[in-house]
Structure 1
């Protein structure tokens, strides 16, 4: 019997959970609906994110997750127009009026891979706000999948005067939504979630405000999660490490396949 083929390498990727306190005073997260023709998670409600590019490492510094943070900043700008960056030497995020000019000059070239985020920031006198991203989770696609990602999740408070919108290319819709509401709408058949998105929404729903969620993320230890399909009783379940703090270790997979 021939040996099984080795698993496909998991591509480094980054995802940002952009947060705000909504009109009702409760935490909301920005999510986009993937274009149905996208190979991975087509039609699903997801957080903005994508693969880590080689150029992202140029601003990584000594942080072992630096390239992932820069990739998250770049993907958030590309996918929803929010730029987590500061004018050089200043404490506050870039203001909306300046951001519009930056986007007008660079957004298209960034999407076409004609310009890197380090080049954009250098040209505009900006610095990435890497410290504004709190490490939240680390998920790796199961070894059995033909397309795999090694994804780090980050929380970030949305700059209050920047407008988050979907790009109309990879994403066809967007919404600010309370985490528990997103899960409830998926349960009712109104939304499609991949397993990792569902579990991170459930975990995020434990927190009432942005400040609560950010504080929890900065004080927690992130545990690597690579779901594994295992037999449980007469059926199958997805198993993840209980110490990852998702409320257990065996789960039904009612949604799209894990991450």
Structure 2
């Protein structure tokens, strides 16, 4: 240990929601060779790039209540979601309508180009005459990796209702499986040892699970204050625990570090 903190990397993730009939969230299983959270169940997302900030305002439909500083993260979340599971939160610029399954499917060849950086998000939406649906995203959480972590991400979590008539298809590279699941079911799978879910994902599943429907989840998040979570370690009588601030409003505030960091 050198005591030097790893640099923060901006990241964004999106919790796609649907009612079938109870609340479900889209999760993907990360490839076992990925260097962060390999083999874990996660929400679609990843690193935010400088290119995400080059999308002109004319190609963004923005919720005026979303702070400008979050728009860059929201754009990254939309791009990552499209790359990983093929669902694109975007409007047709001419009709103003949310794109459907046929249009989203026709854009599949662009997913690897975006993923590999051969095509920027700004170029993609301009060429395809799209307007990105930032207005459909609701800020849900903000987590910063603990100071002792070898890799640290500055991650914003967003909720969004899944566009009707769009189908999720995982990319087969970063994500090797994708499925809809109720938050409580995902937690049960983890407790039974049938799934790996990292600590921030578990906490956000627990919080999401308080809602019964997509509308309830979006309404609740819209009215809530997002408190930044940067976990820290405390030595207690029964061992080291990873702690998060109570004001962040998660069901738990501490977990043994042996389980929290795996």
**Could you tell me the TM-score, scaled by structure 2's length?**
0.92
Deviation of 1:243 (Å) = 0.5
- Structure 2: runs of 5+ lacking an equivalent: 58-66
- In structure 1, the residue matched to 2:40 is 44
- Structure 1: runs of 5+ lacking an equivalent: none
Q: Deviations over 1:109-153 (max 9, x none)?
A: 212211011111111110110011100000011111111100000
**Could you tell me the TM-score, scaled by structure 1's length?**
0.93
Q: Distance in 1 between matches of 2:24 and 2:153?
A: 26
1:116 aligns with 2:120: yes
CA RMSD of superposed structures (Å): 1.7
**SS of the counterpart of 1:28?**
strand
Residues 1-20 of structure 1: pairs in structure 2 closer than 5 A: 4-20=2-18
- In structure 1, the residue matched to 2:103 is 98
Q: Distance in 2 between matches of 1:52 and 1:112?
A: 13
Whether contact under 8 Å (1:192, 1:255) holds in the other structure is no
How many pairs were matched up?
Answer: 253
Whether contact under 8 Å (1:59, 1:66) holds in the other structure is no
Whether contact under 8 Å (1:139, 1:151) holds in the other structure is yes
1:206 aligns with 2:202: no
Match of 2:244 among 240, 244, 253: 240
- In structure 2, the residue matched to 1:77 is 82
Q: Distance in 1 between matches of 2:8 and 2:70?
A: 16
**SS of the counterpart of 2:127?**
helix
1:187 aligns with 2:191: yes
Whether contact under 8 Å (1:165, 1:174) holds in the other structure is yes
Q: Distance in 1 between matches of 2:194 and 2:27?
A: 14
Deviation of 1:172 (Å) = 1.0
